[in-house]
Amino acid sequence: MMPDVHKAGFVSIVGKPNVGKSTLMNVLVGERLSIITSKAQTTRHRILGILSGEHFQIVYSDTPGILKPQYELHSSMMRFVNQALEDADVILFVTDLFEKSEEETQIQQLKNAEVPVILVLNKIDLAKGTQAEDKLNYWKEQIAPVEAIPVSALEGLNMGAVLEAILRHLPEHPAYFPKDELTDKPERFFAAEMIREKIFLQYKKEVPYSCEVVITEFKEEEDIIRIRSEIYVERQSQKGILIGKGGESLKKVGIAARADLETFFGKQVYLEQFVKVSPNWRKKQKQLGHFGY
Ligand X SMILES: Nc1nc2c(ncn2[C@@H]2O[C@H](COP(=O)(O)OP(=O)(O)OP(=O)(O)O)[C@@H](O)[C@H]2O)c(=O)[nH]1
Beta carbons within 8 Å of 9's beta carbon, 6+ residues apart: 57, 58, 59, 89, 90, 170, 171, 173
Q: Which does 142 bind (CB under 5 to 8 A by kind): Mg ion, ligand X, none?
A: none
Q: How far apart are CA 247 and CA 90, in angstroms?
A: 47
* 26 is a contact residue toward Mg ion (CB under 5 A): no
- 187-202 and 248-265 are packed helices; what angle lies between their axes, rounded to 10 degrees? 140
Q: Select the binding partner of residue 12 from Mg ion, ligand X, none (C-beta < 5 to 8 A, by kind).
A: none
| Class of residue 160 by CB neighbours under 10 A (exposed 0-12, middle 13-18, buried 19+) | exposed
Q: Residue 84, CB half-sphere, CA atoms under 13 Å: how many?
A: 28
By a kind-dependent CB cut-off of 5 to 8 A, residue 40 interacts, out of Mg ion, ligand X, none, with ligand X
Binding residues for ligand X, how many (CB under 6 A)?
23
Please give the residues from 22 up to 81 whose contact with ligand X meets the rule CB under 6 A: 22-23, 36-38, 40-43, 64-65
Among 22, 52, 152, 273, binds Mg ion (CB under 5 A): 22
Site string (117-136) toward ligand X, x via CB under 6 A: -----xx-xx----------
292 φ/ψ angles, rounded to the nearest 5 degrees: 90, 20
Window 210-239: contact mask with ligand X (x via CB under 6 A): ------------------------------
List the single partner that 49 binds among Mg ion, ligand X, none, CB under 5 to 8 Å by kind.
none
Contacts of Mg ion in 36-75 (CB under 5 A): 42-43
Q: What are phi and psi of 228, to 5 degrees?
A: -115, 125
Q: With b meaning 16 or more CB within 10 Å and e meaning fewer, what string describes 190-222?
A: bbbbbbbbbbbbbbeeebbbbbbbbbeebeeee
Q: Is 150 in the site for ligand X (CB under 6 A)?
A: no
- In this structure, what are the phi and psi dihedrals at residue 203, rounded to the nearest 5 degrees? -110, 160
The item of Mg ion, ligand X, none sharing an interface with residue 17, based on CB under 5 to 8 Å by kind, is: ligand X
Q: Quick check: 278 binds Mg ion (CB under 5 A)?
A: no
Q: Which residues bind ligand X (CB under 6 A)?
A: 17-23, 36-38, 40-43, 64-65, 122-123, 125-126, 152-154
Q: Which residues bind Mg ion (CB under 5 A)?
A: 21-22, 42-43
